[in-house]
């Protein structure tokens, strides 16, 4: 529980750094490696078996990210590293939740994470040169909070009225929104190779979720099966 909480805190800090230092589309391309990294870590830590389709999705996802960031052909900075580590921490958090699911309550895992967040942010505000936001900054912060709360509400409503397998693929629409918002507000225009890479990352993630649904359907019919398709 403690390790998952620290993963959550570190992931939040790194995501802020990444989003403020590299284009939105590149951040999302790297962050959406998380579902693919879960596949890799599940074989190493949880000793789960993974079938060829899942490995194909992992390889395709990494190839898509390489098309976006193109290491060796363009300058990379700490923002790219922060986004990749963020994806790794998110995947690690999922693995920890899987391993703790039978031992700890969800409220306990969430409560520890929230408590650590309050302590970390409180200590940061107390030790840094904290200054109250001006009216314009406050308006932007209020808007960010409103959008965050609205997004959480929409997720709850979606979970209430639609099955999970219909909701999960919609998360990959964030890649499209990242391209649109990056172009509108920050004049970030991905080139053709980057757009192809983003499409490959999204498709590989969707393939992973589709195979997971197939696996779950198989498990319902065969409760003794431990193989991931």
From residue 190, give the alpha-carbon distance in Å to each of 87, 117, 179, 205. Answer: 21, 34, 7, 20
Tokens of residue 160, six digits: 């209430």
> What pLDDT shows up at residue 211?
64
Please say whether the beta carbons of 91 and 4 come within 8 A. no
Residue with the larger pLDDT of the pair 100 and 90: 90
**What phi and psi values does residue 131 have, to the nearest 5 degrees?**
-140, 140
> What pLDDT shows up at residue 227?
45
Please tell me whether residue 74 adopts helix, strand or coil conformation: strand
> What pLDDT shows up at residue 47?
80
- By C-alpha distance, which of 90, 91, 84 is closest to 28? 84
Verdict on whether the full-model pTM lies above 0.75: no
Q: Determine the average pLDDT of the residues in 150-173.
A: 70
């Amino acid at each position: 529980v403690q390790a998952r909480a620290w993963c959550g805190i570190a992931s939040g800090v790194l995501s802020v750094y990444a989003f403020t230092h590299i284009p939105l589309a590149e951040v999302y391309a790297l962050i959406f490696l998380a579902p693919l990294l879960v596949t890799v870590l599940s074989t190493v830590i949880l000793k789960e078996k993974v079938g060829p389709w899942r490995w194909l999705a992992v390889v395709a996802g990494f190839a898509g990210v390489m098309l976006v960031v193109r290491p060796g052909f363009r300058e990379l900075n700490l923002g790219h590293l922060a986004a990749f580590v963020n994806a790794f921490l998110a995947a690690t958090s999922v693995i920890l939740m899987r391993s703790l699911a039978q031992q700890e309550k969800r409220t306990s895992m969430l409560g520890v994470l929230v408590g650590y967040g309050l302590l970390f942010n409180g200590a940061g505000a107390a030790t840094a040169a904290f200054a109250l936001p001006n009216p314009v900054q406050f308006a932007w912060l209020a808007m960010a909070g409103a959008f965050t709360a609205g997004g959480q509400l929409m997720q709850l409503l979606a979970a209430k009225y639609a099955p999970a397998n219909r909701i999960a693929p919609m998360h990959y629409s964030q890649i499209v929104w990242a391209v649109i918002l990056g172009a509108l507000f920050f004049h970030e225009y991905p080139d053709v190779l980057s757009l192809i890479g983003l499409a490959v990352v999204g498709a590989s993630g969707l393939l992973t979720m589709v195979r997971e649904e197939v696996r779950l359907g198989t498990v319902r019919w065969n409760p003794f099966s431990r193989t991931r398709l």
